Homo-oligomer: A and B are copies of this chain.
Amino acid sequence: MILELFYWPQIQGRGEFVRLVLEDSGVDYVDVCRTSDGLDRLNRIMHGEGAPLMPFAPPFLRVDDLWLSHTAAITSFLGEKLGLAPLFPQEQLVARSVALTIADLVTEVHDTHHPITVERAYETQVEPAKLRAAAFRDYRMPQFLRYLERTIVRNDHTGGAGVLVGTEISYVDLSAFQVIEGLRLAFPRAFERISRELPRLIALHDRVGMRPRLASYLASERRLPFSEHDVFRHYPELDG
């Protein structure tokens, strides 16, 4: 099987949600842009050459002769193919819904430091960023995180065991892990405050981080560090 991930080589970004599924599954894959002509290939495909898909933006994925884009669509596809998804159709739909909700959350995190335009640096939009970040910390972040906590509670009532969907850890639990890693980095004080309300979500995060293949990946050089070029980034003035 040819399995190629196309994403920017210097950041975790949205591509990291895909990398976690690939790494946890143990499958062989190529992180294309970290090979010598990888960025050229990515750019050619973005311009409509060399693939049946012309994506609007990375990440995108090739699985043999199938190409697809968008973080949540990719993690759902891979999770279902690689045994990291619930088995039943309705549970798979719930997992896809949670994956898309997490993608929406990630977009809102991005906009805390770029509330006006992606075309200009954070430093040009600090004042509106402070306002947007305050609304995110006070309202949206709690709303999303409480939703994930409630989702675990509800799933436990129907036979789950501390996971978001189904009975075993799935790709959406890996995505929840990554969101918590990112929010802790970006908003350490605000996250600390809300975390008391999230015992199940925090416990799930910790379980995911101890999975052997994932722990090995997280400790490796393949796991890129967070930076101020990433979706999740720490500006103290945005943490209230």
Contacts and interface: CB of A to CB of B under 8 A. Distances in A.
A203 to B, nearest CB: 20
Interface in A107-136: 107, 111, 115-119, 125, 128, 131-132, 135
A119 B132 contact: no
A52 B132 contact: no
A115 B128 contact: yes
B65 A154 contact: no
Interface stretch (A15-23, A92-100, A205-213): A92-100
A218 B59 CA distance: 36
B119 A139 contact: yes
Contact of A154 (B48, B115, B147): B48
Interface string A30-71: 000000000000000000100011111000100001111110
B154 A100 contact: no
Interface residues of A, number: 43
Contacts of A151: 54
Contacts of A115: 115-116, 128, 132
Nearest to A102: B56
Given A53-B94, A147-B56, A100 B69 contact: yes
A220 interface: no
A97 B68 contact: yes
B135 A119 contact: yes
